[in-house]
Amino acid sequence: MTEHYQALVIGFGPTGAVATALLGQAGFQTLTLDRATEVYDKPRAIAIDHEIMRLLDGLGVAEKVLPHTAPFPASEHFGAQGQLIRRIDMVPEPYPMGFTPTMVFTQPPVEAVLRAHAAAMPGVTVELGTELIGIRQDAGSVTLTLRDAAGHTREVTAETVIACDGASSFVRQALGMALEDLVFDEPWLVVDLRVAPSGLAKLPVNAAQFCDPARPITYIVGPGNHRRFEIMLLPGEDPKAMQAEPQVMRLLSRWLAPGDAELWRAASYRFHALVARDWRQGRVFLAGDAAHQQPPFIGQGMCQGLRDAASLVWKLAAVRDGAAPTLLDSYGEERGRHVRTLTTRIKAIGRQICERDPEAARARDAALIAQGGGKAPVVTRQEIVPPLECGFLAAGDHPARGTLFPQPWVQAPSGWARMDRVTGGGWRLFLSPGAPETQGAWRLLPTGSTPRPDAMIERDGVAAAWFARQGACAALVRPDNYVFGVARDAAGIAALRAHVAAILHPQKEIA
Ligand SMILES: Cc1cc2nc3c(=O)[nH]c(=O)nc-3n(C[C@H](O)[C@H](O)[C@H](O)COP(=O)(O)OP(=O)(O)OC[C@H]3O[C@@H](n4cnc5c(N)ncnc54)[C@H](O)[C@@H]3O)c2cc1C
């Protein structure tokens, strides 16, 4: 009999590891495979944000990831004359999601933690050193041909496949799923260093973007003594030759002397902006770099892949449990739009950074300073990441729809705790103090309120400020923490619930 799984994940990179853990948590019998036997031992992603840390906390793995992170200091952008032209910072405290809004992290140990956590989930089997070499599907299932390290091949079947097999995705190519080119193609050299105390004393304290038209350079302050430089390659420079240590140290000689740092890795990349036209073909879904690639200027590539996994897995679980199968169409619709909007914003920032024409660079600097009313404007990383603009959301155009619901610290028997720890995951209805009485909801009360069994007391007024800003008294929140919709009264709350129930429990509605 052919081996059969409810879900099969191709690729055990960060997207595959999180998709696997979410599938395991949702009770799917899952096989995950990767042709590599080890975690890739060099860092690629270096930034992670609070939405993703909240997702990892929901999986119970945030405490193991946090020791490998540090706050991402503000990134100071310097213009053609070396003057400050912009600061990209994070939103101030009290933090909206209960975590530092933007963090740096070291990818290999974090990937190892994510993998171990996923592999330990009940119902999950992980096979390393096994490559997918063939895929076909019919209406009933997907058949996959696998080849193990010894060269033996076998066929397995699955109800659903999530292809997290990276930028050159075998699945995407085998199924002829096209990528759309959003038109960005710049050669950069990425350099990771372990810096000695002598070197740390010479380097900037904050992250920096040197928008020098002679050679744009990014500098990132990683955790501990990890520092990254991303250096634009100029026309005529050979990407391979530029990776050699003497060349790298020559490029960094403005800051560091030999002996100030150990070169961890230097690799040349072409920064692209690509997004899948179709995210789904039958029972097969693309996620992570298999579905999109973007320039790393805001550090969102891996975060986007983890958002994909979160969006897809709760929908797969809902459909398994009786929701309308059309719910799955919202996956590509909402993730596709989100990736396009964010990539377009990143590209615009990238174009400013990559400006090589001195005249145009001077005009850019003047325009940014004018935009800041005569001084360098401050932009937060959080305002660059858009809300969901379409997909499975309430009707209407309320600005809260598709945003992330905040996560305040709330009173718990053991002391202050992040809200999701108290409520658990899944769909949740949150109410402001003055909202009408509603069954099965969580009311958020200010500090000093009398405790009630159906209410949580919040510490910093994060939820109260959110409700006031939105002019709403209730928010219906999806399992991935995005706001489905908000309401101002009992009738609005009932309408939101009816809308969701019609999709999640269509049988009950008919009965
Ligand atoms: C220079 C640089 C800087 C970056 N900075 C950031 C940042 O700061 N923040 C951020 O969020 N992102 C960043 N990114 C992006 C981030 O690194 C990627 O988006 C992320 O690693 C992709 O994860 P993934 O799991 O989708 O794919 P991958 O990590 O590529 O994993 C794919 C896996 O699939 C396996 N595989 C492939 N084909 C097969 C097959 N046929 N059979 C079995 N297994 C297969 C591979 O072995 C691999 O393990 C950066 C990227 C680069 C290049």
Q: Is the pLDDT of residue 510 over 60?
A: no
Q: How confident is the model at residue 61 (pLDDT cuts 50, 70, 90)?
A: very high
Q: How confident is the model at residue 454 (pLDDT cuts 50, 70, 90)?
A: confident
pTM: 0.97
Among the listed ranges 82-91, 205-214, 486-495, 501-510, which one has the minimum average pLDDT value?
501-510
Q: pLDDT tens digit string along 230-255?
A: 999 999 999 999 999 999 999 999 99
Provide the 3-class DSSP secondary structure of residue 230.
strand
Q: Is the CB of 51 under 6 A from ligand 1?
A: no
The 10 Å CB-count burial string (b at 16+, else e) for 309-327 is bbbbbbbbbbbeeebbeeb
The 10 Å CB-count burial string (b at 16+, else e) for 424-445 is ebeebbbbbeebeebeebbbbb
Q: Is the CB of 43 under 6 A from ligand 1?
A: no
CA of 13 to the centre of ligand 1 (A): 6
Atom of ligand 1 nearest to the CA of 14: 25
Q: Is the CB of 293 under 6 A from ligand 1?
A: no
Q: Which pLDDT belongs to residue 285?
A: 98
Please give the DSSP secondary-structure letter assigned to residue 404: B
Q: pLDDT tens digit string along 318-375?
A: 999 999 999 999 999 999 999 999 999 999 999 999 999 999 999 999 999 999 999 9
Strands annotated E in 149-234: 153-163, 179-195, 207-210, 217-221, 226-232
Question: Which domains occur in the chain, in start order?
Answer: 3-71+103-179+275-337 (3.50.50.60), 409-510 (3.40.30)
Sort strands 261-276 and 292-293 into parallel, antiparallel or unpaired.
Answer: antiparallel
CA of 88 to the centre of ligand 1 (A): 25
Round the average pLDDT of the chain to a whole number and report it.
96
Q: Which pLDDT belongs to residue 508?
A: 63
Q: How far apart are CA 319 and CA 316, in angstroms?
A: 5
**Mean pLDDT within 11-26:** 98
Per the rule left: phi > 0, alpha: psi between -120 and 50, beta: everything else, 340 is alpha
- Percent of the chain past pLDDT 70, that is, above it, reads 99
Q: pLDDT tens digit string along 410-426?
A: 999 999 999 999 999 99
CA of 47 to the centre of ligand 1 (A): 14
Q: Which pLDDT belongs to residue 293?
A: 96
CA of 289 to the centre of ligand 1 (A): 6
| Distances, alpha carbon 398 to alpha carbons 83, 469, 487, 494, in Å | 40, 12, 10, 17
CA of 166 to the centre of ligand 1 (A): 5
Q: How far apart are CA 357 and CA 69, in angstroms?
A: 37
Q: Which pLDDT belongs to residue 507?
A: 76
Residue whose CA is at the smallest distance from ligand 1 atom 21: 302
Q: Which two tokens stand for residue 484?
A: 């489905």
- Percent of the chain past pLDDT 90, that is, above it, reads 97
Q: Which pLDDT belongs to residue 8?
A: 98
Q: What element of type H or E holds 215?
A: none
SS3 for 15-41 is: HHHHHHHHHHHCCCCEEEEECCCCCCC
Whether the CA torsion 19, 20, 21, 22 is positive or negative: it is positive
At residue 85, φ and ψ (nearest 5 deg) are -120, -15
Strands annotated E in 310-440: 378-380, 409-412, 415-418, 428-431
Per the rule left: phi > 0, alpha: psi between -120 and 50, beta: everything else, 148 is beta
Atom of ligand 1 nearest to the CA of 11: 34
